[in-house]
Amino acid sequence: MPHRFTARAVVVGDRAGTVVPDAVVDVDDGLIRWVGPAADAPPADDAEVTALPGLLMPGLVNTHSHAPMVLFRGQGEGLPLDRWLREVMWPREARLTADDVEVAMTAASAEMLRNGVTTSVEMYFHPDRIAAAVRATGARALVMATLIPMPGMPPLEQQLADALTLFRSAPDDGSVEYGIGPHAAYTVPLPVLREAAVLTREHGMLLHLHVAETATEGADLLATHGLSVPALLAAHDVLGGRVLAAHCVHMDDGDLALWQEYDVAVAHCPASNAKLASGIARLRDMLDRGIRVGMGTDGPASNDGLDLLADLRLAASFARLAGRDATALTAAEAVWLATGAAADAVGRPDLGQLTAGRRADLVHVDTRDLVFEPVGDPADLLAHLVWSGAGRHVRDVWVGGRQVVRDGRSTTVDVDDLRQDVARRAARLAEG
């Protein structure tokens, strides 16, 4: 049945920061059919009508996440990275079961939906269980089959073959797409990265890996090969497909030129980069070079919120601080980085904007809150979203036209049950 939404305003999610006041969004069969001012709307006599007091914006696209790590949120707080990994993370992950991952992902997916994040790129163990979790909450995900040499994991060749099998098993409704997620160039051998790249190019899959997150991670590779990680990836034929690189904090001009040449997209994770003291990525330089960039939260053990809307404030703040320039990132661009630009970064033109033909992933932000006033110009809503907005202002969410959050509550899963289950599992994993 066709569905008409009316709202105080529609935030389109495009680069120009278009805001349509007193707007209508028509949805049918999971897709957006029409968007524009109410005064110009076509007749819709047979449509169900939902009148919303706030603004409608596209479902946010989180370009980098390890969401099942809600099991480890806040653990090892304040430790340096090496001790945090050796003493806190790895012992817990060694005890992790597939059920733990599915329960944690279900809880985290519900949390993301509650924050207006309708799609996330997930890189973690047990990708099939991550997909099952997302289908239970009604969200979308691009689930990477993680490629990492680790005790307890099959040989890398087998991991690659399994990834292709998974890719072919994906449902055709746009809810889950599988890709390949080699952890990084310093953990996965270059020939395997190259094989993964060849496979993803051949099948149009997303290849997602960490690049230049810390200042020192590429030091051994530089000493061995005399090349930066981006140059090494280019030299080993890893670039050129649908490649999404997370973090990209320590990039020189030559590295950025390679990203531009090979159209590598960047998952920008300012909250994680700050918490782990990794550095400030060259966001303005990337955008000026035409590099595709989307916002990411990173995992909840290194963010810790899964609140992409709140992270926009960090993205804008850091870009301005780094450039000592209050115009270095506008509010309109910041919103675009979590919507249209993020969908573009992950190679999904069916998501990320409220325009006719795209999937009806809609977020209703309740603007009956003092932080959303005053609005002299409709574009003021973008400033309020970035500088004062957060997931707590999200009231309702639809994915493919189906309501998955109503009045701030999940319509699909029991979040109180899930929270208790996550707490029990986290306690068991911490015991050892």
Segment lying near Zn ion (by CB under 5 A), choices 177-185, 193-201, 294-302, 387-395: 294-302
From residue 10, alpha-carbon distances to 6, 13, 85, 109, 251 in Å are 9, 9, 43, 25, 36
Contact 340, 58 (CB under 8 A): yes
Kindly state the tokens that stand for 242: 């649908």
Q: Which is nearer to Zn ion, 255 or 298 (CB)?
A: 298
Helix (H) or strand (E) holding 13: none
In the complex, minimum distance from the CB of residue 253 to Zn ion, in angstroms, rounded to a whole number: 25
Q: Which is nearer to Zn ion, 138 or 296 (CB)?
A: 296
- Binding to Zn ion in span 178-207, by CB under 5 A: none
In the complex, minimum distance from the CB of residue 246 to Zn ion, in angstroms, rounded to a whole number: 5
Q: Which is nearer to Zn ion, 122 or 298 (CB)?
A: 298
Length of the chain: 432
Cα separation, 113 vs 117, whole angstroms: 5
Segment lying near Zn ion (by CB under 5 A), choices 72-80, 136-144, 191-199, 293-301: 293-301
Residue 243 pairs in a beta bridge with: 207
Residue 51 pairs in a beta bridge with: 6
Contact 371, 365 (CB under 8 A): no
Q: Which is nearer to Zn ion, 93 or 298 (CB)?
A: 298
Could you tell me how far CA 218 lies from the centroid of its own chain? 25
Segment lying near Zn ion (by CB under 5 A), choices 130-138, 216-224, 295-303, 408-416: 295-303
In the complex, minimum distance from the CB of residue 184 to Zn ion, in angstroms, rounded to a whole number: 9
In the complex, minimum distance from the CB of residue 303 to Zn ion, in angstroms, rounded to a whole number: 10
- Binding to Zn ion in span 214-253, by CB under 5 A: none
In the complex, minimum distance from the CB of residue 179 to Zn ion, in angstroms, rounded to a whole number: 14
Q: Which is nearer to Zn ion, 298 or 304 (CB)?
A: 298
In the complex, minimum distance from the CB of residue 276 to Zn ion, in angstroms, rounded to a whole number: 10
In the complex, minimum distance from the CB of residue 66 to Zn ion, in angstroms, rounded to a whole number: 6
Residues in contact with 394: Cβ distance below 8 Å, sequence separation at least 6, in sequence order: 114, 115, 116, 309, 363, 364, 365, 366, 405, 408
Quick one: CA torsion of 276, 423, 396, 65, rounded to 10 degrees?
30
Segment lying near Zn ion (by CB under 5 A), choices 43-51, 127-135, 297-305, 352-360: 297-305
Cα separation, 130 vs 177, whole angstroms: 11
Contact 221, 187 (CB under 8 A): no
Q: Which is nearer to Zn ion, 65 or 353 (CB)?
A: 65
Residue 42: count other Cβ atoms within 10 Å of its Cβ: 10
In the complex, minimum distance from the CB of residue 72 to Zn ion, in angstroms, rounded to a whole number: 13
In the complex, minimum distance from the CB of residue 16 to Zn ion, in angstroms, rounded to a whole number: 31
Q: Which is nearer to Zn ion, 130 or 360 (CB)?
A: 130
Q: Which is nearer to Zn ion, 298 or 311 (CB)?
A: 298
Q: Which is nearer to Zn ion, 269 or 331 (CB)?
A: 269
Q: Measuring CA to CA, which residue among 418, 312, 258, 304 is closest to residue 60? A: 312
Q: Measuring CA to CA, which residue among 258, 262, 272 is closest to residue 213? A: 272
Segment lying near Zn ion (by CB under 5 A), choices 75-83, 91-99, 249-257, 290-298: 290-298
In the complex, minimum distance from the CB of residue 123 to Zn ion, in angstroms, rounded to a whole number: 6
Segment lying near Zn ion (by CB under 5 A), choices 189-197, 198-206, 292-300, 405-413: 292-300
Segment lying near Zn ion (by CB under 5 A), choices 96-104, 273-281, 298-306, 420-428: 298-306
- Binding to Zn ion in span 142-181, by CB under 5 A: none
Residue number of the CB closest to Zn ion reads 298
In the complex, minimum distance from the CB of residue 5 to Zn ion, in angstroms, rounded to a whole number: 35
Q: Which is nearer to Zn ion, 213 or 361 (CB)?
A: 213
Kindly state the tokens that stand for 293: 């960039």
- Binding to Zn ion in span 350-379, by CB under 5 A: none
**Residue carrying the six token digits 């795209």:** 358
Q: Which is nearer to Zn ion, 64 or 395 (CB)?
A: 64
Indicate the SS3 state at residue 12: coil
Residue 37 pairs in a beta bridge with: 23
Cα separation, 62 vs 296, whole angstroms: 5
Q: Measuring CA to CA, which residue among 393, 416, 397 is closest to residue 405? A: 397
Residues touching Zn ion, count (CB under 5 A)? 1
Question: x/- contact string, 248-287, with Zn ion (CB under 5 A)?
Answer: ----------------------------------------
Residue 27 pairs in a beta bridge with: 3, 32
Would you tell me which residues interact with Zn ion (CB under 5 A)?
Answer: 298
